[in-house]
Structure formats: C-alpha cells, structure tokens
Amino acid sequence: MRIAIYSRGLESEQLDGLKILLDEFSHYNIEAVIFQDFFNLFYCSIDIKNKYSTFNHPDDLDEIDFIISLGGDGTLLDAVTFVGDKEIPILGINYGRLGFLASIVRDEIHSAIEALVKRTFMIDKRSLVHLDANMPLFKGICYGLNEFTIHKKDTSPMIKIHTYLNGEFLNTYWADGLIVATPTGSTGYSLSCNGPVVFPDSASFVITPVSPHNLNIRPLVVPDDSVISFEVEGRTDGFLCTLDSRREIATKEVLLAIRKEVFSVNLIRLNENNFLQTLRNKLSWGLDKRN
C-alpha cells in the first residue's frame, strides 16, 4: 500500500503526531510518499528510521492508494488540487482549528490508519465548482471544493455584479462581493456571511452576497446543474477572484461562468462520524451555554 502525505507545515509541538503517523506506517508496512516541501521542513526535526519517497506535482501521484492531509481545512483544500480527477481518497487529520473537513484528531491516528488498511471506512463523494473564463486564471486548476468568490480589492468601493442563471438575468448585486458555494463550502465563508448550511448530498449551489447594499438581498440556493455567469462593474480596474484559498486579480472585461465540475472528490470518513455529528461537535449545537 502506498499513501501520500501532504502538509503545508506543522508547528514544532505537532511533530510528535507526525512521528506517530510514520510509526503506524512502519507497523503496517505502508510506503509513505511525502510532499517534498513538507519533507524538507521536518526531516532534521524527528528521528527518521526509514527512507521515504517524495512528490512535487500531481503527476507524481500515480499508483497512490490514499492521500493524507495534515493540517486544517485549508491544507485539505490544497490537497484536492493535487488529486484532481484521479479519484484518490483523501483523509484529513486535523492540526488546525475548527476542522469541518479535516476531522480526524491526533488521538484517532491509530484507528484511522487501521481503517485504511482494513478498508473499514466510508467514502463521501463531494461535488466541486468549476470556473470558465475568457482569460487564463488559476494556472489551469479551475476547480474548488468549497467556493468561488468575486470580491472587491482592498479598500476600493463596492462593485456591481450582474448575475445570470442559465443565461437569464437573475440580479445585480451591489456588494463587496459574491460567493458561490458548494454544499461542502456552505459551512465556510458562505456561512460567515449568513448563508444556509446545506447537506453535502443536496446537489445545489448557494449564492451568498458579501455585505450587500440592498437590504432585501438574501442568500439563494439553486440546483447544481445550473450555469451561473457574471459581469462585473466597478470604479477600479480589477477585482479579486478566488477558488477556495487561491486568488487571482481579474479585469472588468473578463467574463466568468460557474458550473458543477465533471468529477468529484472522495473524502474518507470513519464509520462512526457523519455530517450531523460534525455540525453538533463543531458548532456546539444542542449544548446549553447558559450555565
């Protein structure tokens, strides 16, 4: 079995958890393939008993059974860009904060690796959002797991976002920005802008304005077989586009359209976890905070 490990980097106090993970690999005779930049950060900090292969690019992930993301949700979103349409299942081990996607904690590393070896896990297929544009953006990696956003730059005035649904005019948003979130991304940036929580298998997009000037504008849930297109006006030359944690500056002349990606991403879930439990645990639903 070959498992890739991806991380942006860990704090010094978190390296013990990495050593536990590598010891589990050794115990089960698993071949580890580690992201090169991450390997360069830690190889002098822990006692390495084995030789490990490394990877730098998505093309290096052939014949990989799983990929493990070490970090928070942002790290897992980065891992998705390496996996692409390869359908390699991703397991997120949380070294971040909230951890909606990377939900496995350090104390569960042993049981998580055991589940991978014995194949006693669940696969959640999560839809992606795809961006089409008439100018090159995001180095050709034009998909995201959480959301696509249009946003004004820095302290520039609000922008006007003319929005169309399957070619029919929907609305003009006078706002700081606009979010198109997948069901997975509904618990991210969209939620912080008062968007609804949407179940992962609900086959929908959530269109959520960021600080809209029109007080009667509210988030909107639309089917994910829709094509959502945009034209942007503003007093400045450009605006920000983001796909998850990646961002680009686009000019007002660009034409943008959002649709569902043709492939999905496979997230590994241990059998005892589900979306409702995640909501209760991460958002403290059902807890009495009065005492």
Catalytic residues: 73
Angle (CA) 95 96 99, round 5°: 105
The structure tokens listed for 4 are 């890739």
Cβ(95)–Cβ(123) under 8 Å? Answer: no
Task: Classify burial at 172, counting beta carbons within 10 Å of its beta carbon; exposed 0-12, middle 13-18, buried 19 or more.
Answer: middle
Element housing 284 (H / E) = none
Radius of gyration of the chain (CA): 20
The structure tokens listed for 237 are 């030359």
The structure tokens listed for 40 are 């360069």
Q: How far apart are CA 211 and CA 64, in angstroms?
A: 43
Q: How far apart are CA 256 and CA 31, in angstroms?
A: 42
Other Cβ atoms within 10 Å of 86 Cβ, number:
15
